[in-house]
Amino acid sequence: MIPLNDLSMHLADYDFDLPGELIAAFPSEKRGDDRLLVLDRNRAELAHRHFSDLPAFLRAGDLLVLNDVKVRRARLRARKSPGGGAAAVLLIKPTADETLWECLLDTHRRLRPGQMFLLADGTQAELVSRENKPGGSALIRFERAIDSDFLDRYGEVPLPPYILKRRMEDPAHTAQDDERYQTVYADQGTALAAPTAGLHFTQEMLARLEQAGVRLARLTLDVGWGTFAPIRTEDIRRHQMHAETFELSPQLVREVISAKQEARRVVAVGTTVVRALESAAAQAGTAPTINALRAGRYATDLFIIPGYHFRAVDALITNFHTPRSSLLVLVSAFAGRERILAAYTEAAAQGYRFFSYGDAMLMV
């Protein structure tokens, strides 16, 4: 029986106090050298461990599912023309071709259509239109195709805004981001943000898990900016997620179905894996098993809120999420709102690092 307090649909009930100094602006000195908070959902118990202890909490036969998407160097520095004021353009996706892009603009002033920009190499760009709402996207036309070669040369890793703000105050160590804001197994697709739960894994850790009998599988979900868009409605049921695309391989589908048939746990590495597996399972039907799961490319705008019935995922490895966010709502649906808020309060009291470059949490 789920406590009624865990089923709250009020955004204000997904808030917590977070001291600013606990927001991780930089990765740990060594990949995987992070803390791990373990939440046993049945016993409502917490254990303070290190990420290197993860194999002790997984079993032989567990299926560990990773999101192997690669982060695109999608942030472009620009200058307004005329004037020369600084701006930044985050490329979301091309429209008709690679000269017209849907983007997000980071500027100190509101800009009107017709505003011109100069990129680092002298390429000109024009603001065609912009949504009239907070965080709205824009259409920008570039005088040349902004392709992968251009981004490899001039693009930057699209770090979250709160990290960039801290970096302006302390710009040290930014050279690490090309490597550290990418998982060690990233080799598919193009994402605007890293599946950050996977940032803790090293090749050595993956090898240790396989040696212990844990099975590994991959899917690809192109993480979009909408995953991190704030909830702006007090009733969380009115929040609309931006659609993201993902792909399930035949091998992944066979592994998931086999694990569920044999009562082995499916362990999701990150909320992106949860959304992909649960979206595909929901589209496969409402049967108590997911034997109808199919390989293929999908699109999802699934927003997982308390009361959701999880069909695929049995355990979850994730980072600590932003207050009042869709990701905090998702993990509350998985483990219970009151348990999550109590765990977050304990994590803050113990000095855990939060958000993309922060520490990890395992929910079993």
**What number does CATH give the domain 4-71+182-363?**
3.40.1780.10
Domain ranges of the chain: 4-71+182-363, 75-156
pLDDT at 288: 46
Residue for token pair 């996207």: 137
d(Cα 161, Cα 172) in Å, to the nearest integer? 16
pLDDT at 84: 87
Vertex 259: Cα angle to 258 and 261 (nearest 5) = 65
pLDDT at 96: 79
Lowest model confidence (mean pLDDT) among 72-76, 130-134, 260-264, 279-283: 130-134
Output the average pLDDT for the chain.
Answer: 92
Task: Convert the pLDDT of each residue in 170-195 to its tens digit.
Answer: 655 566 899 999 999 999 989 999 99
Closest by CA to 268, choosing from 277, 260, 259, 258, is: 277
Q: Considering the chain, what percentage of its residues have pLDDT values greater than 90?
A: 80
pLDDT at 108: 67
Residue for token pair 């091309």: 94
Query: Identity (one letter) of the amino acid at 15?
Result: D
Which CATH code of 3.30.110.40, 2.40.10.240, 3.30.428.10, 3.40.47.10 fits the domain covering 75-156?
2.40.10.240
Taking CA atoms, 364 is separated from 111, 260, 267, 314, 331, in Å, by 47, 16, 9, 7, 12
pLDDT at 163: 87
| Mean pLDDT on 152-163 | 90
What is the sign, positive or negative, of the torsion defined by CA atoms of 116, 118, 124, 126?
negative
The larger pLDDT score, comparing residue 230 to residue 100, is at: 100
Task: Convert the pLDDT of each residue in 87-126 to its tens digit.
Answer: 999 999 999 789 999 999 987 677 899 999 999 999 999 9
Provide the Cα torsion 147, 153, 155, 156; round to 10°.
150
